[in-house]
Structure 1
Amino acid sequence: MTTTTTPRPTTHAHAAGSGVSFAHVLRSEWIKLRSLRSTAWCFAVIAVLLIGFAALGAALSSVFAGSEATPEQQQSIAVTIITFGSPFAQLVAAVLGALIITGEYGTGMIRSTFTAVPRRTSALVAKIVLVGAGTFVVSLVALAIALLVATPLLAGQGVDVDLADGRLWASVVGAAAAVAFTAMISFGLGAIIRNGAAGIAAAIGVVFVLPIIFGIAQGLVGKGWIYTLNEFTPPQAATRLYDYPLDGTSMLTMPGVDGSLVLEPWQALLVLVGWVVVLFAVALALVKRRDV
């Protein structure tokens, strides 16, 4: 007599990816992020730019300071010099943010990623969180070192830095956040475009070309609405995060015109969050609909 045994169905949740927790996805993405040479190089360049430009600016700070600077003006000069490398660091962060996602599409590794995480949402969330957090930490450490390096150099040029000034530290943190937000915005663009060269070009265009376009428009037209519109662009909003204005006048941005809007730091933060959320939402919708 022969008996037939019906095989018991087995479920391999982890193989299918449905049982993978976000913590596991985050750890996996962190391993990928730190194992890439491009990540290490970009982080290193960001640190060198932030520290190097601060040291250079501090050595030449007498050009800015003059002999009649008030203590508040000296603080503004110090913030300007310490954060002088931030726009250049944002350019590198833009490249990094785009590379993180477009590089996987270019090598085909994205197929393995989405096979392990078929719903795709947690994979993208983990990537953008790590890109933003990693860039922020590297930038903050570099800016703190830049502050330590620049302070004695500034003192030698007659600019005394008050390290107990809360606005000074808020600007340092804001500058690090500006670099991180740029990386996350570029990640969103890269996830939408998917092509490496095009993604990097779009990211650099937002960070570098867009301010030039608005600068030309402001010079030619000079209307208040142009200045107001510029406030909502990522580069300008990023600058507002670490600005140290005196009586409404900034050393980092062009003066506005009557009737134009100037964002407060918390408003600029909301603008940048909005850019990240909108671009990421579009990217997520497209990633879920597209084939890899």
Structure 2
Amino acid sequence: MTPVAPASTAPVPGFTDVLAAERRKLLALRLHPIGIVLILAVSIGVGVFMTLIVDSSTLADAQSVSDHAVIFYSSGLTTWAFVYLAANFVAIEFHGIGQSTFVATARRTRVLAAKFVLIGAGGLVVGLVASVTTAAATQGMLALQGYELLDLTDPGLIRAVGVLVGASMAVQGLIAAAFAVLTRSAVAAVVTTGLISLMPVSLATFLGEWYSEHVPRWLPGAAVESLAGVAAPESYGYLPLPPAATAVIAWLAVLLTAAVLRLPRMGIR
């Protein structure tokens, strides 16, 4: 009787393998690398365009009142563009790609963790590059026209440039990625993330002083602004550094955990 050879089994991909595979997928899907290039181009382009079409003295006056008035002018647009890319990077798994992804890597949470790492790291890097290049472009254009520049050695400005846009992209991108799992849709994830960021602030006008003082400052966007040092201490959006960090960690912990618990129970179509 001829012995039967044991069936060979392929090794289970480790986290580094999954991370590398997701990175290749991120680069292979043209929307994502093109979108990142456009984010950087818009960051620089809007800053330069402003100095060309807006009266430079007006920009200089605005900059003298607030260090952040010019260099972060395009930060909202670019942050929400990154948020959509992050949500789409997760949501694509529910519209065809996941059928092959989760055959190759049966541990779905490992795939999701790899996506979270790439989104978080990508947001920090893209945001930092966008901030630095925008600051350089706007200050360079104002310098050419003879206006006083920001003190680029000021620790507060360095903190703002180094933290605000990168942390906003990373935090809001991860929140949208979590909602992309819960809603199975990139658009729904971005809308939900936007409502969380904007709706409580909009309601402050109608819900009175206590609400305005105690609720908006705990939103993820406001907490990131406090981390970056751009929230005025007397404003409703300000938190000291430890509570601001705690708020950001809490938002991410709750939503990312919900996504990790939900994904294994979902059907992939």
Structure 1 spans left out of the alignment, 5+ residues:
250-254
Deviations 1:7-36 (A, max 9, x none): 13234132xxxx211111111000000111
Per-residue deviation, 1:39: 0.5
Instruction: Give yes or no for contact 1:101–1:187 (8 Å, CA) kept in 2.
Output: yes
Q: Displacement of 1:157 after TM fit?
A: 6.1
Check the 8 A contact 1:43/1:135 in 2, yes or no: no
Q: Report the 3-state secondary structure (helix = DSSP H, G, I; strand = E; otherwise coil) of the residue aligned with 2:44.
A: helix
**Which residue of structure 2 lines up, in the alignment, with residue 47 of structure 1?**
40
| RMSD (Å) for aligned C-alpha atoms | 2.5
Counterpart of 2:82 in structure 1 is 93
Structure-2 separation of matches of 1:5 and 1:239:
71
Q: Whole-Å Cα distance in 1 between the matches of residues 200 and 148 of structure 2?
A: 33
Q: For the residues of structure 1 that align with 2:48 and 2:227, how far apart are their CA atoms?
A: 21
- One-letter amino acid of the structure 1 residue matched with residue 82 of structure 2: A
- CA deviation vs aligned residue, 1:96-150 (integer Å, no higher than 9, x gap): 11111112211x1112111222121211110111122123212211221111111
Q: Are the counterparts in 1 of residues 84 and 187 from structure 2 also a CA contact under 8 Å?
A: no
Report the equivalent of 1:252. Answer: none
TM (normalized to structure 1)?
0.80
Q: Which residue of 1 aligns with 2:240?
A: 264
Identify the match of residue 213 of structure 2 among 227, 230, 239.
227
Counterpart residue type for residue 50 of structure 1: S
Shift of 1:64: 5.5
Residues 52 and 272 of structure 1: CA distance in aligned 2, closer, same or farther (over 3 Å): farther
The structure-2 alpha-carbon separation of the partners of 1:35 and 1:5, relative to structure 1 and needing over 3 Å to count, comes to same
Counterpart of 1:194 in structure 2 is 184
CA distance, structure 2, for counterparts of residue 241 and residue 83 of structure 1: 15
SS in 1 for 2:68: helix
Distance 1:87 1:219 in 2: 22
Asked if the contact 2:39/2:78 (under 8 Å) is kept, the reply is yes
The more displaced of 84-93 and 231-240 is 231-240
Determine if the alignment matches structure 1 residue 7 to structure 2 residue 4: yes
**In structure 2, C-alpha distance between the alignment counterparts of 1:276 and 1:286, rounded to whole Å:** 15
Partner residue of 1:236?
222
Q: What is the number of residues matched between the two proteins?
A: 264
Per-residue displacement from partner, 1:170-189 (whole Å, max 9, x unpaired)? 11121212112111111011
Instruction: Tell me: CA distance 1:288–1:81, structure 2 relative to 1, closer, same or farther (3 Å).
Output: same
Work out the CA distance in 2 between the residues paired with 1:126 and 1:79: 34
- CA distance in 1 between counterparts of 2:223 and 2:48 reads 25
2:15 paired with 1:32: no
Tell me, yes or no, if the aligned pair for 1:55 and 1:153 is still in contact at 8 Å: yes
Q: 1:238 to 1:52 in 2, by over 3 A?
A: farther
SS, match of residue 36 in structure 2: helix
* Structure 1 residue 200, shift from structure 2 partner: 3.6
Change (3 A) 1:196 1:267: same
Answering whether residue 91 of structure 2 is matched by residue 102 of structure 1, we say: yes
- SS of 2:118's partner is helix
Higher Rg of the two aligned structures: 1
- Distance in 2 (CA, whole Å) between partners of 1:216 and 1:138 is 29
Contact 2:47 2:74 in 1 (8 A): yes
Query: 1:219 & 1:24 partners in 2: Cα distance?
Result: 50
Q: What is residue 125 of structure 2 aligned with on the other side?
A: 137
Match in the other structure for 1:177: 167
Q: How big is the shift at 1:220?
A: 2.9
TM-score, reference length from structure 2: 0.86
